[in-house]
Structure 1
């Protein structure tokens, strides 16, 4: 959706009468006041003195004020009518789509600032708590018509009216407000994101590309430690900063006997004809993530391949495929449908308490309307080891994840220094980077067509090597590589970038998404490995990994990325 704003016409502002057309079909406004407006953007003009509100859409029509030789008044002409204006200023025409009367006693819950203007659509600088409240105020002025649809698009959250929760009718308002400036200290300090040299840049950009990431490496290299560290540096809401561990972190220790999704999401138990839902710690964590949509939430599934991932993690893998844009937000299907949520809440009197939202009727109503969905801020990071006690990673899993290999152990690190002390940082640039600036593949192309063309050319070369093999590339791989590179490119706004940044990112992405697929004997992949080595000469990480894969094949007759 395009940008939407509100302009509060203050008492004594005569421009409103001078610039509104006689038939009230359009209104002009000064470009110096409504700065950076583009055609198609929405502006609500609220004139409390004349008890009128206009829902308008900006057009491309511009007029410049000039002193009339006839009357010496400052004005401009449009279709035979004269409009008062400041000399030399430009005025844009806004088409009136809907007008409404402001009832007596109506006022802003959060008054606008001195410049009379406030954002209604999501932005990195808007106070989103006040923004959502103003949306609610405007909805009271437009009970029907096209304006409510636009206001709903600006609102990331469902408003359900007259829903029954525990036999009580409630109205749900502003469920889970998005990030505000107060929540993310990085914004207060004028910092809007990471630099390319950030120590966790690769992992953070992989997480932003895909909400499911695997960390591989030998046991004891700090994989789960790294996930906990990410939670600390992104815990931008003071309400979640517990002394023992961040409230946006959950450790789930996988057991070898897991084979059903119930182990993660819970299950229904029937005793004597009475329904009771058995909740899990992860399900409660998912519910908590819905309460804080402005904060990244990290679920760490430790030793994930002790059991078969595609069995107990099947619901997650399926729901990842339902990702879609709803307005400006990524949305997913529900883990537990709205029908089942209603059933469990009716049959099990302790259902809401088990989820940790016994007194939160707003969130209860949201789940009754939508089901318990996968929130857009939920990130699952699994740690995996490869030995005789673990399972291999299937192509179905690899296709839906980003894999980062933790390599190299510095034996001197930490040996003479104090143990890690877990502290929350002063600023939260990492949280800002993960929550803002999400793109679709087409948006990434529009932002830098030249870079995307280079990426697709490289993927085409590699795809020809892998075609007619079990390792053939998919559109999903292409999308992930493009987005990963685009998110890294966006870091240029925060600091210097290396001149070969795209080569660095392609090197990382090929390792994460393509080389992880290589496995088998000499007949399966011997020739493919050699051709990939030739095709990736400019990528040092790929060269090192392919060399190790080839050495393993020569020694044992079998090989894999792991």
Structure 2
């Protein structure tokens, strides 16, 4: 081994040449060292020969080819790839893609060090400090490490003393950082003499790392066991019957999808003879930091359970402990009343209660499976969650529901670490993009990034207007973004998000800020004012969406708000001393985010320059149908392929005239076509007839104009005739519209 030659290869400035030299000269040395290590010590550690070998070679080879490709050469010019080389042993014997990195050997050029380390990501160490008990046991592990074992973190590549590790981990949790950690030996290049020296150091380090290696190996085993439980739950997708208060419902499950890197989500709907009663989701948390299950109903989380509570010997009952929290003054009384209602509801529905706990199933740690069918466990989970939602007043079975956003049930020690009532905001764009793109809706990273920058670039003013054709997801983007800031899925109930539909009769600022009623001797509050007061009181980001804001003249009803954010002066509300729940003057807080959505048609007003000067205006009119089609459910793509081709052809023709439709329209069209497919064959419309009718019902009513739409009508007449035949419903409408255009110079769908 020639360390000078290795360092020279790692230091080459040209990226392509550096990667080539490292592949040819450095990686073979590492491979030989690892092979020699395994062969030398297989007698002491037989598992060495069973471990898989991971290397840096694929990345090196890809970067080398990209650096030589004119299309990518410039962006690879200053790459750091190839300035290090490594090889590692990994134990891949665990189930469900769980991997334990046993030993990593590498040469690191910028640091001029050879590293013999055991690497780990943040999550096993986060679990190590999750509870006081865990932290106490982990402290013993760290204390038992020899002084020769060094600890490095990828956060600025700093080294930590043993007594600094746990405080540093706690700081990472607080700051929402998740760095990697490396335990082992770090040798300067100047101190490297021979291959034999490295082999001896590898063996010495291997033995010295035993305490942390044993802990991480055990943690990997626990993680894999919990993932087996999650898989057993998510694997079941068949409908389940649910009986509540004497009425039988059906629970229908959708496909499991990846919500975030470490989260899987399975949405479900509860139906009463085909009518959706409420919806929800079974969320599987693979690392939060431990593995857990969460049950959501109507957007709110009602059950959270740590799967590690099922670990143990033999059969372990899955017990859920529940409690309620309410954040108003009368919280104690409300908690007691809600708790009593929930307990009574569980007992009436056959749950076995032990104090404040109930049982949903049993895990067999010997046979590694649930004793009960997975569908039965999910039924019990969902039944309990629905009963809790009913107890809080969020839903009512079968009575009218009265939604209460302030009651949320908390069940288990993991709630505080998961969702529950904790709403912590984070404007990290990477996290927001990940959350939004995991929603299954069609938004490009560029749109999300631009929307984010428009909202946050000014510290004291957050005002964005979203323009575009109907159905392109303007309002949905607002909902997604607000929930992503709080780390919530699209359908979560977010008390810091208010969608306020604008009415055509809004003519002054009282529509937003309310007014003092001299007749009633009280201040009449509005949803907008309530949201502003909540933002002031709680200090958290509050998102207000003024939906279809140009149905009224924006400069009329928004004038006080625009003046206040520009001048930083207060808005005068009233002068009455006896009014105590509303201040006399209102200062617009910096944590208020106002977003308006607008459609431009004959029913709306234009936006004045006064408003435009104070807002960022984004246009969402591009519709990416290919991406939309990829994101729809497999069940639709499987049976509606020919219908999809026709709708895409129509969309392309309309888009040339800026008369194309948006995602909402396409989604509703697909759902109707699929509903037709599910009908018995003897009464079902054939595919072409179904598409023809849905075009006449959802697309043609929006087509209107003067002689400029004549080429479009001619194209559509020809296309519908060839696609659907002479008896086409759409063709008849189009011929009539073409005739009206020829006679009157203008046309519309409506007669």
Which interval holds the TM-score relative to the shorter structure? 0.3 to 0.5
TM-score of the superposed pair, with normalisation by structure 2: 0.27
Which structure exhibits the higher relative contact order, with contacts defined as CA atoms closer than 8 Å and separated by 6 or more residues?
A: 1
Which of the two has higher C-alpha Rg? 2
Of Structure 1 and Structure 2, which has the larger fraction of its residues in helix? 2
TM-score of the superposed pair, with normalisation by structure 1: 0.34
